């Protein structure tokens, strides 16, 4: 017996997904997010470790993924409690409160949220805060922290109903956050405030040595201006005209960093800027709906590689276009990865993309996937690039336009 995808596989289309590329950046060894939803962190850290590997001529290198996990859960918990205090007068069964209670500290995230974490907390080498059982498989950590936070929400709403003032509620929140820190420290260990670093290059020469705080290490080793890197989305729905900026109500993690900000552009523009950044020797963070038209074992995302509709004899995959899939809940961003190569035709247009995933070296082809250009059009929703690649007009809109606020449950608010 074979599954639907195996039967619907198109060998000729699969053959078009060869792993040789016109433009390519060379990464270190593959990383593995294991049984956690940290793809957005792995993708972000993969773009940062790439810079460290290049700068110090290393064979490979990994940044700690448990470190930002700790602070993301901490900040999301505080963000959640703030939203609960902000909605104390909303009915418990309102769509908003129900939405806030659904998944307050899930593993997923957006680039803007990762940028906020790094700006506040820096980064550390993997040895300085290694993986634990709870970072490798986050289900228990998420379950118990979510349960505690829902209990906190009830306590805050009950206290408000009983007449507690804002100072009393703030004191409760502070006490709750102390417990959140303790829970996270039990699961993940205490994050380091400073650590020793010894990096040896490909020739075994000492390339970097010293004692650093996490912020000092980011400044020294990654040396990346976080503010230059922005999120471009591509959503062709009627409520989001291209060429404008958007944010998502109540979406974020670090309170003082504020909310996410996107510029919505056609897929061709996302490709243009991604190619420009790859040609300049830097990888590109992106978000997509990974399981669509996906031959997972082979690591191939290609709308031509699976012919589901011929198998059934009527339109299933073809029954909705991209806008309708977003509007009707069939598609949203589910996974973040890194673009590290592209093939171009004689006119300079992309035909195939090389992707570094975070599912370990045994996935796909040595941990890499490919994306066909047609798949990019349909299922890539976001890229993060240096804003210098925008046109002057696009940059002006991103920097100066007041963003349209989307509902908390908008598909562009989904967390990779």
Active site residues: 39, 335, 357
Strands 244-248 and 262-264: antiparallel
């Amino acid at each position: 017996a074979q599954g639907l995808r195996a039967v619907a596989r198109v060998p000729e289309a699969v053959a078009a997904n060869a792993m040789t590329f016109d433009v390519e950046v060379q990464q270190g060894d593959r990383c593995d997010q294991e049984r956690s939803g940290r793809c957005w962190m792995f993708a972000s850290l993969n773009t940062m470790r790439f810079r460290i590997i290049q700068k110090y001529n290393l064979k490979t290198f990994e940044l700690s993924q448990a470190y930002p996990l700790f602070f993301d859960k901490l900040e999301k918990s505080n963000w959640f409690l703030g939203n609960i205090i902000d909605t104390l007068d909303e009915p418990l069964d309102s769509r908003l409160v129900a939405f806030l209670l659904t998944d307050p500290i899930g593993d997923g995230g957006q680039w803007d949220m990762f940028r906020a974490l790094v700006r506040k907390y820096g980064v550390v080498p993997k040895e300085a805060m290694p993986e634990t059982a709870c970072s490798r498989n986050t289900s228990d950590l998420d379950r118990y922290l979510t349960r505690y936070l829902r209990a906190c929400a009830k306590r805050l709403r009950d206290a408000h109903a009983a007449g507690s003032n804002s100072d009393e509620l703030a004191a409760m929140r502070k006490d709750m956050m102390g417990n959140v820190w303790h829970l996270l420290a039990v699961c993940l260990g205490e994050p380091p405030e400073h650590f020793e670093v010894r990096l040896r290059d490909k020739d075994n020469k000492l390339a970097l040595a010293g004692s650093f705080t996490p912020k000092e290490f980011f400044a020294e080793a990654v040396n990346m201006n976080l503010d230059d890197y922005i999120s471009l989305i591509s959503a062709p729905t009627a409520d989001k005209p291209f060429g404008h900026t958007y944010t998502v109500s109540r979406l974020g993690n670090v309170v003082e960093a504020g909310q996410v900000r996107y510029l919505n552009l056609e897929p061709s523009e996302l490709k243009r800027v991604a190619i420009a950044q790859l040609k300049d020797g830097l990888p590109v963070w992106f978000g997509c709906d990974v399981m669509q038209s996906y031959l997972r074992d082979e690591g191939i995302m290609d709308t031509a590689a699976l012919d589901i509709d011929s198998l059934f004899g009527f339109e299933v995959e073809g029954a909705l276009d991209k806008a309708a899939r977003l509007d009707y809940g069939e598609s949203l961003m589910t996974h973040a990865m890194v673009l590290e190569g592209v093939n171009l035709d004689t006119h300079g247009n992309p035909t195939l993309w090389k992707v570094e995933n975070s599912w370990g070296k045994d996935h796909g082809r040595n941990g890499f996937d490919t994306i066909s250009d047609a798949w990019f059009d349909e299922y890539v929703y976001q890229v993060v690039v240096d804003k210098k690649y925008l046109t002057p007009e696009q940059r002006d809109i991103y920097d100066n336009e007041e963003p349209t606020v989307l509902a908390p449950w908008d598909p562009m608010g989904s967390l990779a």
